[in-house]
Amino acid sequence: MESGIAAGRGGGEGGGMATKEPIGFIGTGIMGAGMARNLHKAGFPLTVWNRTRERTRPLAEEGIAVSESVRALAEASAVVILCLGDTPDVEAVLFGEGGAACGDAAGKLFIDCSTISPEATKAIAARLTEHGAAFLDAPVSGGSEGAAKGTLSIMVGGAAEDVRRARPAFEAMGRTVTHVGPHGAGQMVKLVNQILVAGSMLAMGEALNFARAGGLDLETTLAAVKDGAAGSWTLSNRGPQVIAEDWRPGFTIDLQLKDLRLVRETADALGVPTFGTDNATSLYRLLQRAGLGGAGNHALIKAFDRSDAASAP
């Protein structure tokens, strides 16, 4: 296994693409749009596709080609990157009628930046191998800000030679690229990441609610603790949003719950406890039932003072 971290762009480990291969990007939502823009800025020949075509309009206005179908996109691309919502979405886009892997996939590299089931990922890799294609699972972390700025952390599962081939594209989208193991390992590390995210959101919500109840000024309190032992990316980046009651999503509650479901399914298969994840899941479900599924996952604090959340419209 090739391992290690590459910081910045253009500093990747040996090899890589002598020329920039044509890339097809599938899924231009909260994360995908920013990632696609950074590939375009880096000079990759790029074509995008999204199920809701309207979401590709801003990209088209910036000069990025939009494909009429995933099949056409794949046929025109050497590398196909997916950034989709859940496991069934990835399977359908790849292997459904007119899917990206249904034509001549030999020699192509498929990269899945979605967060999906690690076990399903292994099966997807095996199916693509049967089609003569290579595959990497490469979920990302860093929120919509990281996607827009090209500073994502990318955790990659797959063969070392495929990671080397993909590294120039990864470095256009992210700041930290880590090859963590074989197929499925990228998704497992992403679930580790999501356990940590859920725990930090839970702690931040509890702490700021406690501070508010105690009559503290929240901005002053945040300034006092964010650079100490309790500091975190979540506190520095989402704490100010909580204080401003700005619930715009860098990552939605709906997507957070999907990821925590994947954590729980995998944990059940492994036979390990997930106490903090279970608590966060219960609170996020309360907010989702209250109609807040599209809010940012930092809105978890609302669950601490919404005794009526379960019945709210």
The pLDDT value recorded for residue 8 is 37
Nearest Cα neighbor of 79 from 190, 177, 175, 164 is: 164
Q: What is the pLDDT of residues 263-304, one digit of tens each?
A: 999 999 999 999 999 999 999 999 999 999 999 999 999 999
**Which residue among 182, 210, 226 closes a domain?**
182
* 174: in domain: yes
Statement to judge: residues 39 and 155 lie in one domain? yes
**Any idea how long the chain is?**
313
Structural tokens at position 200 = 């930090």
Pick from 8-17, 93-102, 123-132, 154-163: least confident: 8-17
The model's confidence at residue 10, banded by pLDDT at 50, 70 and 90, is very low
CA distance 94 to 36: 19
Statement to judge: residues 157 and 197 lie in one domain? no
The pLDDT value recorded for residue 219 is 97
Q: List the CATH number of the domain containing 145.
A: 3.40.50.720
* 172: in domain: yes
**Which residue among 128, 154, 182 closes a domain?**
182
Statement to judge: residues 138 and 28 lie in one domain? yes
**Residue 23 pLDDT greater than 80, yes or no:** yes
Statement to judge: residues 208 and 171 lie in one domain? no
* 308: in domain: no
Residue with tokens 């975190």: 232
The pLDDT value recorded for residue 306 is 57
So which residues are the catalytic ones?
A: 190
Which residues have C-beta within 8 Å of that of residue 99, sequence separation ≥ 6?
70, 71, 92, 93
The whole-number average pLDDT for the span 138-166 is 97
Counted domains in the chain: 2
The pLDDT value recorded for residue 305 is 77
Statement to judge: residues 212 and 265 lie in one domain? yes
Q: What is the pLDDT of residues 202-250, one digit of tens each?
A: 999 999 999 999 999 999 999 999 999 999 999 999 999 999 999 999 9
Residues 296, 302, 307, 311, CA torsion sign: negative
**Residue 21 pLDDT greater than 80, yes or no:** yes
The average confidence (pLDDT) of the chain is 92
Structural tokens at position 276 = 């903090």
Statement to judge: residues 254 and 177 lie in one domain? no
Structural tokens at position 3 = 């391992």
Q: What is the DSSP letter of 217?
A: -
pTM over 0.85: yes
Statement to judge: residues 10 and 130 lie in one domain? yes
Statement to judge: residues 57 and 173 lie in one domain? yes
Statement to judge: residues 37 and 139 lie in one domain? yes
Domain that includes residue 84, residue range: 5-182
* 312: in domain: no
Statement to judge: residues 193 and 148 lie in one domain? no
Statement to judge: residues 163 and 61 lie in one domain? yes
The pLDDT value recorded for residue 62 is 96
The pLDDT value recorded for residue 19 is 77
Helix (H) or strand (E) holding 40: helix 32-41
Statement to judge: residues 116 and 252 lie in one domain? no
* 309: in domain: no
**Which residue among 159, 182, 205 closes a domain?**
182
